[in-house]
Amino acid sequence: MNTLQNKKLLFGITGGIAVYKAAEIIRGLVKMGIDVQVAMTKHAQQFVTPLTFETLSNHPVMSEMFPADEMVATRHIGIPGDADAVLICPATANFIGKMANGIADDLLTTMVMVAGPEKTILCPAMNTEMWDNPVVQKNVALLREYGSKIVDPGHGELACHTIGAGRLASIERILSTARIELLRNNDFSGLNFLITAGPTEEPLDPVRYITNLSSGKMGFALTEAALSRGANVMLITGHTELTPPDDAETIFVRTAAEMERAVLQAYSSAHVVIMSAAVSDYRPADYSPSKLKKEGDSILLTLKRNTDILAELGKEKKDRLLVGFAVETDNVVANAFRKLREKNLDLIVVNNPNEEGAAFRSDTNRVTILSREGEEKDLSLMEKFDVARQIIDEIAVLKELKPASFKTTIEV
């Protein structure tokens, strides 16, 4: 199963130096199973030729409004009409201005006119003076108001050798937004999710710490999946190499104690909590502010127990939905059910890292979802993003069983 398989994306490229980055993004989208069709403006073709994008997307690149072949003369209607989303990357100030003001004077602007602003994601990229120009800002604000998604440009060194705002957002941010928008469904709108991710780090001295192999991939995938259903998501994450989705409110923590503080603070307003973080059960009993020097053949390290955050949340559960994770190598299902009961959870997601494709840091996982009612759902090996979608589907089922007051009973 791959939920992005057969999703259709129209990828529009307009003329700026960031065109070269579009190649990498298209490659990422195609790798996810998305059917990408590319349309380029004339100016975009001055930077990179269509052949690159034809090869990466496996489709001819469209650019002529009036092609010689009559069969494709209505593609400006059919292709954006069929697309699940339209991504304009890079989007120039000129293109943004045209779209905001209803101008359709070439193939791409006409296609976007057909698709409508709500289906369109724009990734602006331009020089800082252009980006800061109040006319551009007003056009961007107008498109946001019409429902377009804007992947705001980043800050950094620009092609014109100045430093400022305007460089194309990172590839990870653009891919994450595309994934979320392609699967958009707002049935969780108004619900507050609190999701934890990644490992914690428990310092021994300024240069050493105890941690684990968690990559954060599962928690970040859950964040995307919840956002795509229209939920508000607070992501509390330990150190990872990943870029959080733009629309998540992200809090970065290091230790289990920091995670505990952040989670407890956000708990009162959360309807759904998913603890996918690998929280360290112990921390060094003493922290040395000076670097520890080696002494003798062995040393003894005393560790102190950290609070079990999820167990604490379970004590004050009220109407909330609580989802935990468990990693087990023996008596997998029995141990996970025990944890579910002890921590007062609604669901627990368990995996065995010794199984193929289910190791830490892998892009895939093979999990079993257990419910409070004793149900056991074995999922096949799949991408973590799809595992996340399945977990969110289970939460959707539980949400339906909640009384209509569910949203209001939490102290928001």
Catalytic machinery residues: 160
3-state SS assignment for residue 238: coil
Query: Nearest distance from residue 216's CB to ligand CTP, in Å?
Result: 12
Cis upstream peptide for 90 (omega within 30°): yes
Token representation of residue 260: 């505990």
How many whole angstroms separate alpha carbon 163 and alpha carbon 238? 30
Kindly state whether residue 235 participates in binding ligand CTP, applying the rule CB under 6 A. Answer: no
Work out whether 337 is an interface residue with ligand CTP (CB under 6 A): no
309 binds ligand CTP (CB under 6 A): yes
In whole angstroms, give the CA distance from residue 412 to residue 408: 8
CB of 196 to ligand CTP, least distance (A): 6
Q: Does 306 bind ligand CTP (CB under 6 A)?
A: yes
Q: Does 368 bind ligand CTP (CB under 6 A)?
A: no
Tell whether residue 175 is a contact of ligand CTP (CB under 6 A): no
- What size, in residues, is the chain? 412
Q: 228 vs 7, 84, 218, 242, 349, CA distance in Å?
A: 14, 13, 15, 18, 21
Out of 327, 358, 359, 398, the residue judged to bind ligand CTP by CB under 6 A? 327
Pick 80 or 219: Cβ nearer ligand CTP: 219
Does residue 218 bind ligand CTP (CB under 6 A)?
Answer: no
Q: How far is CA 332 from the centre of its chain?
A: 29
Using CB under 6 A as the binding criterion, the count of chain residues that bind ligand CTP stands at 14
b/e per residue, 187-223, with b = 16+ CB within 10 A? ebeebbbbbbbbbbbbbbeeeebbbbebbbbbbbbbb
User: Residue 221 — left, alpha, or beta (φ > 0 → left; ψ -120 to 50 → alpha)?
Assistant: alpha
**Distance between CA 109 and CA 366 in Å, rounded?**
44
Instruction: Determine the residue type at 305.
Output: R
- Is residue 394 within 8 Å of 377, Cβ to Cβ? yes
314 binds ligand CTP (CB under 6 A): no
| CB closer to ligand CTP out of 253 and 309 | 309
281 binds ligand CTP (CB under 6 A): yes
Q: Which residues in 246-275 contact ligand CTP (CB under 6 A)? A: 256, 275
Tell whether residue 277 is a contact of ligand CTP (CB under 6 A). yes
CA distances from 271 to 158, 290, 390, 398, 410 (A): 42, 43, 18, 12, 7
Q: Which of 67, 308, 377, 379 touches ligand CTP (CB under 6 A)?
A: 308
Q: Of the candidates 168, 178, 183, 326, which one interacts with ligand CTP according to CB under 6 A?
A: 326
CB of 180 to ligand CTP, least distance (A): 24
Shortest distance (Å) from residue 200 CB to ligand CTP:
8
Q: Which of 158, 310, 347, 388 binds ligand CTP (CB under 6 A)?
A: 310
Q: Which is nearer to ligand CTP, 99 or 310 (CB)?
A: 310
Residues contributing to the site for ligand CTP (CB under 6 A): 256, 275, 277, 279, 281, 306, 308-310, 324-327, 339
